[in-house]
Amino acid sequence: YHKIGIVGAMAEEIELLHKHVVKTGSFVKAGIEYTEGTLHGHNVVFCKSGVGKVNAAVCTQVLIDAGADCVLFTGVAGAVAPSLNIGDIVVSTSCLQHDFDVTPLGFARGQIPYQDVWEFQAAPDLVELAASACERLFPGRSLKGKVLSGDQFIASRDAVRGLYEELGGACTEMEGASLAQVCAMNGVPFVVIRSMSDKADGSAHVNFAEFTIQASVNSHAIIDDMLRHL
């Protein structure tokens, strides 16, 4: 890759990138700041997206227009697969918008009408690179699976059970599938890496608040390890 786009959801994580990237420039577009530089010999451009699908879509397109030829996303998510515990990591094999709902017109849950593809596949080489980084750093605590995104913080047992049983999700968050769709529209490879901050159930709001800083450190470590081994 000539230039690696990195999107973080959290300020804590972007601060770690600011610390470690050797900077060559920065610019602002649509109110979001982008920083360019090098990390372990690779050209990178990174930003903090802000929360939600629209923010993630805009910054992904800006990264691609700035020359990013692959995009990595790191942040936290609510665990959906019952085998996952807080602190475990999900590497996306694919991403789907769980809140896309045109079911009254006969479309499947998550389906984008009149479009062949609505579950966007992550790049196999980036998935393997991320999965190996997880195995090196957090052995036995990661899985590869489907990342479900929506403009909703999921915090009930019924909602999270539905995401697992109806959509087969591994985790749920608020940006991945939007970044994935923009990458697919541009033919740019991507992978989403998420540390589990909560189980998207009745305790999710408490666990989320507790876990953010550790998760930022963990996901930064994964990105760092990936670039070392690329």
Q: Which residues bind ligand ADE (CB under 6 A)?
A: 76-78, 153-155, 172-174, 197-198, 200, 204, 208
CA separation for the pair 84, 73 (Å, rounded): 20
Of the two residues 45 and 155, which places its CB atom closer to ligand ADE in the complex?
Answer: 155
CB 31 within 8 A of CB 47: no
CB 49, min distance to ligand ADE, A: 13
Helix (H), strand (E) at residue 222: helix 204-229
Helix axis angle, 53-65 relative to 176-186, nearest 10°? 30
Of the two residues 55 and 172, which places its CB atom closer to ligand ADE in the complex?
Answer: 172
Of the two residues 146 and 188, which places its CB atom closer to ligand ADE in the complex?
Answer: 146
CB 25, min distance to ligand ADE, A: 31
3-state helix, strand, coil in the chain (%, to 5): 40, 30, 30
The identity of residue 40, as a single letter, is: H
Q: Is 135 a catalytic residue?
A: no
CB 27, min distance to ligand ADE, A: 28
CB 51, min distance to ligand ADE, A: 9
- Residue tagged active-site, from 158, 198, 201, 225: 198
- Residue tagged active-site, from 13, 36, 88, 173: 13
Q: Is 13 a catalytic residue?
A: yes
CA separation for the pair 221, 7 (Å, rounded): 14
CA separation for the pair 52, 58 (Å, rounded): 10
Q: How many CB atoms lie within 10 A of CB 194?
A: 29
The residue number with the shortest CB distance to ligand ADE is 78
CB 206, min distance to ligand ADE, A: 11
How far is CA 226 from each of CA 95, 106, 128, rounded to the nearest angstrom? 20, 42, 10
By annotation, the residues acting in catalysis are: 13, 198
